[in-house]
Amino acid sequence: MITVQSLASGVRTPLAGLTAISLVVTGSLVFNSYWPVLAQHDAPGLSESSPGQPAQSTTPADPINSPFPLPWAWIIQQQKLAATSHQAQIYAQKTATFISPDGVYEAQAELIFHAHPNFADNQLTSTLTITNTHTQAVQQWQSSSLIDPELRQDLPPDGAGLIAVLWPVGWSASGEQLLIRNFQGLFSTDFASDVAVIWSRPQQTLTAVWPQSVEYDHATLLGWSQEQPDQILFQTATMGEPKTQVWAVNRQQEMLARPSDRPQVYGQTLTPNSQAQSPALLSPQK
């Protein structure tokens, strides 16, 4: 059975113009904590409670507290249904449509979630589609084709446990580049990290960028750098260490610490039953 939930249908409306959304970074700490990919015992999403007190949800908005969160609560909910029914299910959900500042290009991803009764056997992938609205030319990429070779080596032949998602997050100020979150991980492990993927409008190609010259457990994509607009901001963290670092990384993988920089993305989004609006899901976790 395939259940489809669309988050991106709606009536197209005129663009309101170029919009920049800045994400406030205070020092080098953006989020309160980092969450690894949930282990099986976390799957129900409830913590213990005292008698007479309601249980509190422990399901994070995103496995690594991204400012561009995956629909993690939805994923956990569908997995619980598979566990309860003892049957594997396939679910799909579309993102909002991310519209370039000049309105020529649209980007959207469709998540495909293979929910299994055994949490470690879940699989989450996506298909990224970029459409030229003037010519109707379409480009598509499967997220599973871009996973880390080392991660691929750890996978069983059927890909059980894989998390590999391409998720558009916003355009550059010029509209010449689309910034895409490439989240990779494994269910029931603490392996979870972001890679930035840049789609170049002139070259029609993808380029991967991520912090390479420092050690960390999780890297979280934040957005384009405000100080150096052609660079990308990441926050890196090590499990068990409260301190995090913000880095600006360019296409040559050169890095500089940018603790006071602010990430931003541009463009418009089209969400259900709404007008085109600023990129969705950009507020940092409190």
Rounded Cα gap, residues 26 and 91, in angstroms:
38
SS3 274: coil
Q: For 189-217, what is each residue's pLDDT tens digit?
A: 888 999 999 999 999 999 999 999 899 99
Count the residues in the chain.
Answer: 286
Q: Alpha-carbon dihedral of residues 200, 203, 204, 208, nearest 10 degrees?
A: -50
Give the pLDDT score at 6.
Answer: 34
Of 106 and 55, the one with more pLDDT = 106
SS3 72: helix
Arithmetic mean of pLDDT, 26-30: 27
Q: Say if residue 254's pLDDT is above 70.
A: yes
Give the pLDDT score at 152.
Answer: 78
Which sequence spans correspond to the domains of the chain?
A: 2-47+56-270
Q: Is the pTM value of this prediction over 0.85? A: no
Arithmetic mean of pLDDT, 239-268: 93
Can you say how many angstroms the Cα of residue 226 is from the centroid of all Cα atoms in its chain?
A: 20
Give the pLDDT score at 35.
Answer: 39
Rounded Cα gap, residues 206 and 211, in angstroms:
17
How do beta strands 2-6 and 89-94 pair? Answer: parallel
Q: For 75-89, what is each residue's pLDDT tens digit?
A: 999 999 999 999 999
Of 5 and 90, the one with more pLDDT = 90
Q: Confirm if 139 and 78 have CB atoms less than 8 A apart.
A: no
Where residue 59 falls among pLDDT bands split at 50, 70, 90? low
Rounded Cα gap, residues 228 and 237, in angstroms:
22
First to last CA, the chain: 37
Arithmetic mean of pLDDT, 213-230: 94
User: Mean pLDDT of all residues in the chain?
Assistant: 79
Q: Say if residue 3's pLDDT is above 70.
A: no
Q: Say if residue 153's pLDDT is above 80.
A: no
Q: Say if residue 63's pLDDT is above 70.
A: yes
Which of 38-42, 68-72, 177-181, 210-214 has the least mean pLDDT?
A: 38-42
Q: Confirm if 110 and 94 have CB atoms less than 8 A apart.
A: yes
Q: Say if residue 65's pLDDT is above 60.
A: yes
- Distances, alpha carbon 223 to alpha carbons 52, 171, 248, in Å: 43, 9, 10
Rounded Cα gap, residues 176 and 185, in angstroms:
29
Q: Confirm if 7 and 70 have CB atoms less than 8 A apart.
A: no
In this structure, what are the phi and psi dihedrals at residue 268, rounded to the nearest 5 degrees?
-130, 160
- The token pair that represents 282 in the structure block: 């950009």
Q: Say if residue 58's pLDDT is above 90.
A: no
In 3D space, the residue among 29, 19, 86 whose CA is nearest the CA of residue 236 turns out to be 29
In 3D space, the residue among 213, 181, 186, 215 whose CA is nearest the CA of residue 198 turns out to be 181
In this structure, what are the phi and psi dihedrals at residue 8, rounded to the nearest 5 degrees?
-135, 15
DSSP E strands: which ranges in the chain?
2-6, 20-22, 89-94, 97-99, 105-115, 123-132, 138-142, 162-171, 177-186, 192-200, 205-209, 218-225, 232-237, 244-249, 255-257, 263-266, 268-270
